[in-house]
Amino acid sequence: MRNLQRSYVGTALLALFALLAGCVPQTSAQPQIKRLTLPPGFQISVFSDKVPGARQMVLDEKGTLFVGSIIPNTVYALPDRNHDGKADEVITVASNLNHPNGVAVRNGALYIGEIPKITRYDDIEGQLSKPADAKGARAFTSKVVTDKLPNVEWHGYRYIRFGPDDLLYFGVGAPCNVCEKPDERFGTLMRMKPDGSNLEIFAKGIRNTVGFDWHPETKQLWFTDNGRDYLGDNLPPDELNCAPEKGMHFGFPYRYGSNVPDPEFGVKAPKGLKFTPPAMPLGPHVASLGMRFYTGNMFPAKYKGNVFIAEHGSWNRDKKIGYRIQMVTLENGKATKYETFLSGFHQGDDAWGRPVDLCMMPDGSMLVSDDRCGAIYRISYAGDRSGPTAKPN
């Protein structure tokens, strides 16, 4: 019995170390964009390689890019004033925060999502224009919008975005691999008014979403979800889901994939609970994070309206998977195809980069954040324009 207990503890510790190794960004690597592969006509360049732990990105009305991180717990501002596709400088907006993964903008204000709270920096461009001190630092002021979020680090990295309804949406991940918790906020997508009022659950049964977007035409919410661990290399799939209305349940912890019962919690599912299957099953353990619909006019027409997904990459699989940007093709509002758009962040066991989030730029190019290299890449199209290209909106 004692040996069994010792074995169990050892296995649990190994799992914990593996989890930390897989989830904590390592920023010692250098961008190696020559190893990356894109479809013909596309090219990739470095927007900035001075953004340690780069995670979620958002562009404000003035064209300044804001980037969150979980290590070193800093939020950055990256202006590109001459519009040359490269950041002019990297400005520290806030540091020593509690894993500020999430950033969003609204009416000139920057919102930052930490584990236990969301704060607002009013007139962020005005604050950026203040002169720096002798050490290059600026004094920024903020207000707490809400501090009523679970203070749990496991799946606690807050991804935040404003929806077309002017509400602020964010994920509250399950504080475990797979479990049931009495706090109904865990394993959900929540939303609230910009001032923090009317906090409510929008969708349930979501293990850990770290990326979502709204369809440019239907305005329906789509999101990625990370599947549970320890069911083998090939189960369960990560998911791309669609939530057209409030109150839907997407299975966790009772179901995964196309309504497959979980071996531990499947029998515990409440009777009569309706589960919504994924719009598209993704690769197993790929760690699907940021996602965006392509709405620009630079890429060829076939890319417009499709979903791009940043797959951070597996940490507990015998053969690495993910570490890439995938594209999901939509036809008549249905996901029909799942294919690789950008690859080369890993060869064999060597993973030098880990994509996290995507951001569409006004010129139609697309930015990709990489928290392992502390870099942001810019993908543009320079191919043959004699064929069909995306029509203006």
Give 122-176 pLDDT, tens digit per residue.
999 999 999 888 777 788 999 999 999 999 999 999 999 999 999 999 999 999 9
Q: How far is CA 364 from the centre of its chain?
A: 20
Torsion of CA 148, 150, 155, 160, to 10 degrees: -10
344-377, pLDDT tens digit by residue?
A: 999 888 899 999 999 999 999 999 999 999 999 9
Q: What contacts 24+ positions apart, CB below 8 Å, involve 178-182?
A: 178/207, 178/228, 178/252, 178/253, 178/262, 178/264, 178/265, 179/253, 179/265, 180/253, 180/265, 180/268
The string of DSSP codes covering 154-172 is TT----EEE-TTSPEEEEE
User: Which residue's entry shows tokens 């979620």?
Assistant: 56
The pLDDT value given to residue 25: 55
Find how far residue 154's CA is from the centre of its chain: 15
C-alpha–C-alpha distance, residues 298 and 373, integer Å = 27
Spatial separation of the C-alpha atoms in residues 225 and 236, rounded to whole Å: 11
Q: How many CB atoms lie within 10 A of CB 348?
A: 7
CATH topology of domain 35-381: Neuraminidase (2.120.10)
- Taken in order 279, 280, 284, 287, the sign of the CA dihedral is negative
How far is 323 from 50, CA to CA, in rounded Å?
20
pLDDT mean across residues, the chain? 92
The per-residue pLDDT for 19 is: 40
Give per-residue pLDDT as tens, 251-276.
999 999 988 999 999 999 999 999 99
- Which position has the token pair 């006004």? 362
pTM of the model: 0.91
Closest CA to 208 of 144, 320, 285: 285
